[in-house]
Amino acid sequence: MAGRTANAAPIIIKKKKVIAGGGHHGGAWKVAYADFVTAMMAFFLLMWLLNATTEDQRKGLADYFNPSIPISKVSGGGSGALNGSSVFTDEQLSRDGTGAVNEYPNSREIPVNGPENSMDAPLEGKGVDNEIGAAQKSLEAVQNEINAESIQALEGNLAKHIQTRMTPDGLVIELVDADGQPLYDIGSSNPSRILDDLLKVVGPVLATVSNNMAIVGHTDALAFSRSASYSNWELSTDRAHAARRMLITNGIASAQIKEVTGKADTEPFSEDPYAPQNRRIAIILLTK
């Protein structure tokens, strides 16, 4: 028995050493990296949008996403984007008779949303092209009327003071100076007889529309040297306000004038910065 024990094979115990933490870690880092790249893309997209939009557009977007946005009185409900009208509000306005026709029974308004606002109007009549075309034609009608009135009512040497042009913002009527025929006394905001005659022609035509207006004053590049605290900026603004008061006297509703500004000599009418045509008043008939 002792011999069998001595000849038995030895028992060998092998221990396997396990090293933790090595090998493949999985794909969790890919998810985190993708989230990071998405966040960076959203950040740079936001920065681009802030640079590409105007202050009014950003305010409109903020008001739309703000749950406490007030109901707009202009749209009659303001349930659409940027205080726009909805289908229900248009129906409500037509049923109650509270639209612009009843508010301005003796005036016409240059359409912004096309000539057809009825619920029964065909869809093709409300396209963007039709809207732009209707507004363009209405503006051109006012422009032609102003030009015709100026030729009939003014003498030949006064009609040259009226310049009209179309812009994306609306119809611009510019009353410009001429050699020896200033619209204001030199270096002051006191209107001359020429400006009074011009506004007596333009004012009644503009009084037939209910669109908003903006008045902008301009000067030439000649520096105002009478006072250190009074420059062409103040002079152009005071002249615009003088024109505003004269327009109201000639039939324009004060509520229609939404902006009165002075731009000094920053937007010259002529290539010569000292030309008399740079001294002018611009009346903008807005379509927005």
Of the listed ranges 136-140, 177-181, 211-215, the one predicted with least confidence: 136-140
Residue spans of the domains in the chain: they are: 55-127, 129-286
- Pair of tokens at residue 102: 């009843």
Compute the distance between CA of residue 246 and CA of residue 192 in angstroms, rounded to an integer.
Answer: 12
- pLDDT of res. 21: 54
Give this prediction's pTM: 0.53
pLDDT at 120 over 60: no
Alpha helix locations (H) across the chain? 2-7, 28-52, 55-65, 87-96, 100-103, 128-153, 156-159, 193-206, 232-249
Q: Regarding predicted confidence, which is higher, 25 or 34?
A: 34
pLDDT tens, residue by residue, 51-67: 888 888 888 877 777 75
Residue 178, φ and ψ in degrees, nearest 5: -140, 165
Quick one: CATH architecture of 129-286? 2-Layer Sandwich (3.30)
- Average pLDDT rounded to a whole number, residues 208-236: 87
Of the listed ranges 64-78, 149-163, 218-232, 249-263, the one predicted with least confidence: 64-78
The percent of residues in the chain predicted with pLDDT above 90, rounded, is 29
Cα angle 238-240-242, degrees, rounded to a multiple of 5: 70
Cα angle 84-67-60, degrees, rounded to a multiple of 5: 45
Q: Regarding predicted confidence, which is higher, 105 or 4?
A: 4
The CA R_g of the chain, rounded to the nearest whole Å, is 35
- Average pLDDT rounded to a whole number, residues 263-274: 91
Residue 84: HSE in the Cβ half-sphere, 13 Å Cα cutoff: 11
Cα angle 232-236-240, degrees, rounded to a multiple of 5: 170
Give the CA distances from residue 207 to residues 5, 210, 232, in Å, rounded to whole numbers and listed in that order.
128, 7, 30
